[in-house]
Amino acid sequence: MEGWRLRDITLKGVTLNGVISVAYYAEWRYAEWRMTQLLENPFVFGEIIDDANFVNRTEELSHLVRDLADGQKVFLLSPRRFGKSSLVSVALLKLKKRHIRTVSLTVSSYSSYTQFLEKFAEKVLRAAGPWERVKDWVTRFGRQVQPEINYNINTGEVNVSLGKGSGYDPTPIAPDIFALPGELTKKAGFRMAICLDEFQQISQFNGGSVENALRNQVQEQREVGYVFSGSQPSLMQEMLTAKRPFHKAGPQMFLDKIAQKDWKEFIDRHFRRRGRTLDNAGLELLLHTADLIPYDVQRIAHELWDYAELKDKRRLDASDVNLVIEALVTSQSTYFELLWEQLSARQRAALQALAHRGAAEIYSENIREVFRLGPASTVQKALHSLDSRDVIDRYKGDYFFLDPLFPRWITKKGA
């Protein structure tokens, strides 16, 4: 898009002036070339990854697609930025191709229970088909409270409004709303797959009553697959304990990191296609620094790509990767500094130990002595509080930094 806009504006400028200045033309061509190069950067981060750029996850994908098509209720868990949303998005795409109606909602996007319910209803109705047809199938909807439903004939959009004012309590109508997918699939003869992303946030709406209402309805919906995905595994696991409504509601899927060899192949392939190489030491440094967290692998690779374009460097090695990582750490240093200032002395000490020596022996006497961590119970408390602050999380039992560049900054700072 940007490239085209640039071309239009420049051409207009050229026509208006009536003469083509050589310098102007060269500058335009260079800017245009730069733009296409940047647009071509194949490493994408911070966005949901589409089918074409999806690395591995073949087993997880076929598992998820099969379970959702079977009407299972799947719980997808992993720490932040491991690729849950991307996995679900590709899975829903595959289901759509099989004529399964799909719905996707991010629970954390809504500021109130009412708004969440309205969007849930809207998206389910939209996925089910034109309102004109859908309305005859909806029998339970609005039995207790009459919602306002607006249908726009031109756009085909359905808008649902449950009640005005912040004091409105949607609890009585929630079961009817959550029953909608079941109603529709039963009457219309199609299947549905629904994703509720950032699901751990649902307890913010009215506590246990939401979980109860939702659980009671979804367990009756044989034709509807659900994936409840959550970025805070500890909160999600709490939701699945014996005392909570979702206990044993369906299979749990823990998303692992993507294997090193898949990333190597992916990164190598893209650089080669552009006529560049990155040596093995460079690749390993990149993957090690990113701690194999998908978001960070893509982010460093993205920066390395731009760096190589700018310098037009054909052969890249560990020193280039290092330069790019240093630049990234520097660009984030204000943020890291602020974060650091907010931490207690105990928390800082624990992070220093973690940054220098990793998680495996964090409780050992030697490490506690060297880093002046205090007794093991104090270390445990510090780590726990850092976990709830989203500075660290657990993967396969061990703590790790959610932002893998933070330990780089910490070690540099203390050097």
Binding site for ligand ATP (CB under 6 A): 44-49, 53-55, 57, 78, 80-86, 231, 294-295, 298
Least separation in angstroms between CB 85 and Mg ion? 3
For Mg ion, the binding residue among 28, 65, 85, 199 (CB under 5 A) is: 85
β-pairing verdict for 398-401 and 392-395: antiparallel
Nearer to ligand ATP, 53 or 332 (CB): 53
If the CB atoms of residues 179 and 297 are measured against ligand ATP, the closer one turns out to be 297
Give the footprint of Mg ion on residues 120-159 (CB under 5 A).
none
Shortest reach from residue 230's CB to ligand ATP, in Å:
8
Window contacting Mg ion (CB under 5 A); options: 70-78, 82-90, 280-288, 328-336 = 82-90
Helix orientation angle between 318-331 and 280-289, rounded to the nearest 10 degrees: 20
SS3 270: helix
CB of 268 to ligand ATP, least distance (A): 14
Question: 77 has which bridge partners?
Answer: 230, 254
3-state secondary structure 169-234: CCHHHHHHHHHHHHHHHHHHCCCEEEEEECHHHHHHCCCHHHHHHHHHHHCCCCCEEEEEEECCHH
Nearest to 83 by CA among 263, 204, 250, 261: 263
Min dist. Cβ of residue 266 to ligand ATP (A): 7
User: Judged by CB, which is closer to Mg ion: 88, or 218?
Assistant: 88
Binding flag, residue 232, Mg ion (CB under 5 A): no
Q: To the nearest whole angstrom, how small is the minimum distance from the Cβ of residue 49 to ligand ATP?
A: 4
Closest approach of Cβ 290 to ligand ATP, in Å?
Answer: 10
How many amino acids of this chain bind Mg ion (CB under 5 A)?
Answer: 1
CB atoms within 10 A of CB 346: 18
| Cα separation, 201 vs 192, whole angstroms | 23
Q: Does 201 bind Mg ion (CB under 5 A)?
A: no
* Cα 144 to Cα 368: distance, rounded to the nearest angstrom: 61
CA 397 to CA 387: how far, in whole Å? 13
> Does the protein bind Mg ion through residue 200 (CB under 5 A)?
no
Question: In this structure, what is the dihedral angle of CA atoms 211, 215, 217, 221, given to the nearest 10 degrees?
Answer: 140
**Residue 201 or 231: which CB sits closer to ligand ATP?**
231
CB of 197 to Mg ion, least distance (A): 6
Q: Do 287 and 297 contact (CB within 8 A), yes or no?
A: yes
Q: Which is nearer to ligand ATP, 198 or 320 (CB)?
A: 198
Nearer to ligand ATP, 82 or 228 (CB): 82
**How far apart are alpha carbons 85 and 202 in whole angstroms?**
17
* Residue among 44 and 235 whose Cβ is closer to ligand ATP: 44
Residue numbers of the site for Mg ion (CB under 5 A)?
85
